[in-house]
A = this chain, B = another copy of it.
């Protein structure tokens, strides 16, 4: 592949809108991508609000999208198409967007900041998104919740009592660390995509486990984490987005409300 071709592709990639391919009807993992795009006021198309959007998602999921000379086939949504680039995996898409949309610290001054921010986003996604998902699907993603209710209850109890406080305390510690810098953000005193991820995780957890989150907020041991949630919600572009019809309601995605899983901590 000639450098000239790559340079052309880079240019073309920057001149066209972003395309998010994700399941219509749920915020899900796609919501992390939307928040980055919305905060940066980027132009994007979203299969959640596009005619035939579901067909586009299904074509990828069913392996019906024609083979591509540049991009490996993606395994699952969210998928980002940008020019002739097609990539998948939430933290990966966020990293790509973070660099382009100014949602990482200046990499000219400190190239390694990319890896510091990425670790924070990966940890939030692991402990505050993937684990909550597994609370209602501990046995098999291919089975209904109703077919794994007892196991879900058991896992949720452990999550609310052990895992959730562990990760909340971890992020409180990060926010109080020297490397977080001034202000409400996780790293280097600037808003990064890791902050948006943590916001979305906390927001979803408040919906899924209201009793536990209320108690954590009342106890006052994680004030910095809750302050970050508030600070993100007050960003002008995020505020406008959250009030818009583009912000979908929680339903059958990652964060679900089941009364019996809303454990008293």
Report how far A96 CA is from B114 CA in the complex, Å: 9
Report how far A20 CA is from B82 CA in the complex, Å: 36
Q: A183 at the A/B interface (Cβ < 8 Å)?
A: no
Q: Which of A72, A115, A167 has the most CB of B within 10 A?
A: A72
Q: B154, A139: Cβ atoms under 8 Å?
A: yes
Report how far A1 CA is from B116 CA in the complex, Å: 15
Q: How far is the CB of A216 from chain B (nearest CB, A)?
A: 18
Interface size class of A (residues with CB under 8 A): 35 or more
Q: B179, A110: Cβ atoms under 8 Å?
A: no
User: Which A residues between 127 and 168 are near B, CB-CB below 8 angstroms?
Assistant: 127, 130, 134, 138-143, 151, 154-155, 158, 162-163, 167
Q: B119, A68: Cβ atoms under 8 Å?
A: no
Q: Which chain B positions have C-beta within 8 A of A96?
A: 112, 115
Instruction: Write 12 A-B pairs (CB below 8 A) sorted by A numbering.
Output: A6-B109, A9-B112, A13-B112, A67-B177, A67-B179, A70-B179, A75-B119, A87-B119, A92-B122, A96-B112, A134-B134, A138-B138
Enumerate the 10 nearest inter-chain pairs by beta-carbon distance, A residue then B residue, closest first: A140-B158, A89-B122, A89-B119, A69-B178, A75-B123, A6-B110, A87-B115, A72-B174, A92-B118, A92-B119
